[in-house]
Structure 1
Amino acid sequence: MVCLVESARGTIIRLTKLSDTSLIILWMSEEEGLLKTVAKGARRPKSAFAGRLDLFVDAGFQWSRSRSSDLHGLREVAVTDYREPLRGNYRDSVVAAYFGQLLEMVLELNHAEPEIFALLQRGLAYLTEEGGSRKAVLHFEKEVARLLGLGDGAQRGILNAYGKLPASREHCLDLFI
C-alpha cells in the first residue's frame, strides 16, 4: 500500500493530549482549512517534534491522510515563526486562543478557507505587534461573520447561524474592562 505524504503551511490552534506520548494537533492551514493530525511520540523527550509543536506556531508540515478518520498522521514539521511574544503575554494568548476556538466552531474540517486563514494570520500578527484589545476581538468576529456570509452583525450573525459563541468569549472580553 502506498502512503501519500501531503504538505501544507499552517498555524497550530489547539493541542490535545492523546496518550502519554502522543498529541492531537489542530491546524488552520491555507490549503486544507482546519486539519487534525496525530503526532505519535511527540511528548517523548527525544522526539523529532520536540520544541516544534506549541500553540500559535506557524510551520510547514507534512502528513499522511487517513482513509478512515479525520485524524491524519503528522510526519514532519518545519517551524517558520514561534510567535514567542504572543505566547509570553497571558492576555494576548487568551485572545489568540479565542480566535482559534471561534474558527474551530464555525469551520468544517478539511475544507480550505484561504481568506479565513489570511484573517487568522493578520489577527495573530496584530496581537504580536500591538497586543490584544476589545476592538481586536470584535473586529475578528466581524470579519469571520463577513467572510462566512453571515452579514455585518458579527455576534448576532454567528449566534443565529451556530447557536452560540465559544464559552471563552466572555473571559476574553473581561480582560479589557
Structure 2
Amino acid sequence: MTRMQSGRGIILRLTKLSDTSLIVTWCVEGVGLIKTVAKGARRSKGSFSGKIDLFYIADIEWVESRKSELHTLREVCPIEYHEGLRGQYRDVLLAGYFTALAEHVMEFGQSDDEVFDLLRRAINFLNTKGATLRALEHFENELARMTGIWDGRRRSNLAIEDAFGSLPRSRIECLEQLA
C-alpha cells in the first residue's frame, strides 16, 4: 500500500523530466531530502502553476514510491515565495550555493531539522538583507558545526571539503560576486 506523506519543504532544485513535468528536490522538515515528480508542473494551467519555484517554502503532500526514490507530488501550498532575493543576481547565486551545499552534505531519507532550519533562515536573510560574504561564511560555519566536522580552528569550507568532497562550483562565483 502506498503511503501519503506531508510536511513543510524548501525547494532546492528543479529538473525537467518531460515537456510537462518536473523533478523537484526538497529539503523537508522532519524527513530530510526527497525528490518528487510534479506531473503537469510545466503547463501554464496545471494544478502546480505558480506554486513551484526555487527557494519556495511550502506545505506539501506526496505519495511515497515503493520502487524508487522518486515520489509523486500531490499538493503544494506555498508559504514563502522569497520575491525579494530574486531582484539581485548575487542573492539568487548565494541562495543556490546554500541549497547545493545543503544537498551535498545531506543524505536522502535522513532527517536533519537543524540543516532545514539553517537553510530556511539563510534564504529568509537573503530575501530581506541580501547576499554578503559574512552570510556565506556563517552558513558554512554553521553547516560544518551541525555535521560535526568543524572544531572552529580552521576554515569551515576546508573541513566540509575534506569530509564531503569538493564544494559546489558556484562557491567560486559567489566569492567573485561578493568581493
Q: Where do residues 143-158 of structure 1 align in structure 2 (5 Å cutoff)?
A: 143-151=142-150, 152=152, 153-158=155-160
Q: Deviations over 1:133-162 (max 9, x none)?
A: 011001101110000001123111111112
How many Å apart are 1:32 and its aligned residue?
A: 1.1
* TM-score normalised over the length of structure 2: 0.95
Deviation at 1:11, TM superposition (A): 0.8
| Counterpart residue number, 1:168 | 170
Say whether 1:122 aligns with 2:121: yes
RMSD: 0.9
1:17 Cα shift?
0.4
Structure 2 contact 9–27 (Cα < 8 Å) conserved: yes
CA contact (8 A) 2:33 2:110 kept: yes
Q: Aligned runs of 1:14-33 on 2, under 5 Å?
A: 14-33=13-32
Partner-residue secondary structure (3-state), 1:143: helix
Structure 1 unaligned regions, length at least 5: none
Deviations 1:69-89 (A, max 9, x none): 111000000011111111222
Partners of 1:114 and 1:62 in 2: CA distance: 18
* Residue number in structure 2 paired with 1:135: 134
**8 Å CA contact retained: 2:12, 2:25:** yes
- Cα drift, residue 126 of structure 1: 1.0
The count of corresponding residues between Structure 1 and Structure 2 is: 176
Among all aligned residue pairs of Structure 1 and Structure 2, give the percentage whose two residues are the same amino acid: 48
1:8 matched to 2:7? The reply is yes
Q: Which amino acid aligns with 1:168?
A: S
C-alpha distance in 1, partners of 2:86/2:67?
Answer: 34
Q: What is the CA-CA distance between 1:163 and the residue it aligns to?
A: 2.1
**Which residue in the other structure is 1:43 paired with?**
42
What is the CA distance between 1:93 and its match in structure 2? 0.5
Aligned partners of 2:54, 2:116: CA distance in 1, in Å? Answer: 16
* 1:86-97 superposed matches below 5 A: 86-97=85-96
C-alpha distance in structure 1 between counterparts of 2:104 and 2:42, whole Å? 27
Task: Name the SS for the 1:91 alignment partner.
Answer: helix
TM-score (norm 1): 0.96
- Give SS of 2:168's match: coil
Q: Which runs of 4+ in 1 moved over 3 A?
A: none
